[in-house]
Amino acid sequence: MNASPAPELQPRLDADETIGAHAELLSSQLQALSQAMFPPTSQKSLRRFTSGEAARLMRVSDSTLRKMTLAGEGPQPETTSNGRRLYTLGQINEIRRLLASGTRGREAVEFVPHRRGAEHLQVLAVTNFKGGSGKTTTSAHLAQYLALQGYRVLAIDLDPQASLSALLGVLPETDVGANETLYAAIRYDDARKSLRDVVRKTYFDGLDLVPGNLELMEFEHTTPRALMGGSKTGDGIFFARIASALDEVADQYDVVVLDCPPQLGFLTLSGLCAATAMVVTVHPQMLDVASMSQFLLMTRDLLGVVRDAGGRLQYDFIRYLLTRYEPQDGPQTKVAALLRNLFGDHVLTNPMVKSAAVSDAGLTKQTLYEIGRENLTRSTYDRAMEALDSVNSEIEELMKAAWGRV
């Protein structure tokens, strides 16, 4: 009896070639989708705000805005065919400055909340060890919220995946060239630039961006060589480099929002050493909390080494933000209660609830602050906005308390 022929063995695939082919396929598809939604000639723009929205942002009455329009004071809004008045964010900020100069019985800082006197630059590091905790979404919404309140904000994308840059209208693969990320301002060689030369204006008045892309990984590779070569003191040491770069632009901003990568490398450590406060995003599930525990232990050990090397870390506040929280989910409420019992006031009072509105806005690379209420189910939009504003205003109050404002 003849033995049956052995089945032909499938040739084994080279991992780098397979992964490379998948990467190119996905990248080209994403570019095609992006160009369909945002043609190369187009740029992201921020919608206009109704007079009611503008009044709420400025904390004045709608009738005050109407009187100013009738009197010809300040920028004139666009008026639609049905009589609605629409303002750009730039116009809102111009009106803020006008109101601050007249004060109208209120302090100027209530209208234009810029830093004054000895108030230090706030550097808020949004971080976590685990991807999917809502870190980038939190960073983008926080930066935009603060810009909407009238602060001068700089968002810095420290993550080589550069999701924050994409959300803010800068595509990392096509819009960011060599030496155009934060790496340009913290590198160790002669190609180093001032951070002023890397900052970009965005379509959001009052919000600037330092974009990211894969180039940021270079810092993880060049830092060990720099340490071996003797860059171990002063501004030369890796953990002081982001703080030193920020010093070059500090006078232009009130707040810096750092979107840290989801790992504890040299880049994250340098960001944490530049920060004045830290917001740790955590999805209230046991696996995520266990991961956060490891993140905190590693952060403690690594920052201890930084302190021994002469780095001083004194934060205005450290807070844990519950993200993608579902109040009806029993296990999640138990995990949330556990964290509140353990950390008390270090857990932000307001969680960011899981919402289809945030996901729907993300499909077109937009945030909830950019997408109009008319584009989503209104009840879903309102619930999400209420949660978002509550979280961000709580962080704003912590900032103001650090400045000594009542």
Determine the Cα–Cα distance for residues 372 and 381; give it in Å rounded to an integer.
9
- Residue of 182, 248, 186 lying closest to 211 (CA atoms): 182
Contacts of 72 (CB under 8 A, 6+ apart): none
- In whole angstroms, what is the distance from residue 60 CA to residue 68 CA? 12
CA distance 183 to 180: 8
Whole-prediction pTM value? Answer: 0.87
* Rg of the chain in Å (alpha carbons): 24
Structure-model confidence comparison of residues 34 and 322, the more confident one: 322
Q: pLDDT tier at 104 (50, 70, 90 boundaries)?
A: low
- Among 24-33, 183-192, 260-269, the minimum mean pLDDT is found in 24-33
Task: Tell me if 349 sits within 8 A of 319, measured CB to CB.
Answer: no
Report d(CA 188, CA 193) in Å as an integer: 10
Neighbours of 193 (CB within 10 A): 16
Q: Per mean pLDDT, which range of 65-74, 123-132, 266-275, 323-332 is the poorest?
A: 123-132
Closest CA to 150 of 75, 195, 98, 210: 98
15 pLDDT more than 70: no
Instruction: Report the pLDDT value the prediction gives residue 236, as an integer from 0 to 100.
Output: 61
| Residues 19, 25: Cα–Cα separation, whole Å | 10
Per-residue pLDDT band for 159 (boundaries 50, 70, 90) equals very high
CA-nearest of 119, 93, 52 to 205 is: 93
pLDDT at 169 over 80: yes
Is 16's pLDDT higher than 60? no
Give the highest mean pLDDT range of 104-113, 179-188, 231-240, 361-370.
Answer: 179-188
Distance CA 346, CA 365 (A): 31
* Mean pLDDT computed over 162-179: 90
What does the alpha-carbon distance between residue 19 and residue 52 come to, in Å, rounded to a whole number? Answer: 51
Average pLDDT score over residue span 294-309: 79
CA 357 vs. chain centroid, Å, equals 18
Q: Which residue did the predictor score with more confidence, 229 or 176?
A: 176
Report residue 107 as tokens.
């302090």
Task: Assign 231 a pLDDT band (cuts: 50, 70, 90).
Answer: low
Given the structure tokens 């790496």, which residue do they identify? 183
Higher pLDDT, 223 or 256: 256
pLDDT at 20: 66
The CA distance from 377 to 374, in Å, is 8
* pLDDT classification of 395: cutoffs 50, 70, 90: very high
- Cβ-based neighbours of 393, under 8 Å, separated by 6 or more: 145
User: Alpha-carbon distance 280 to 366, whole Å?
Assistant: 23
Q: How does the average pLDDT of the chain come out, rounded?
A: 85
Higher pLDDT, 18 or 301: 301
49-50/85-87 β-pairing: antiparallel
Is the pLDDT at 203 greater than 90? The verdict is yes
- pLDDT category at 139 given cuts 50, 70, 90 is very high
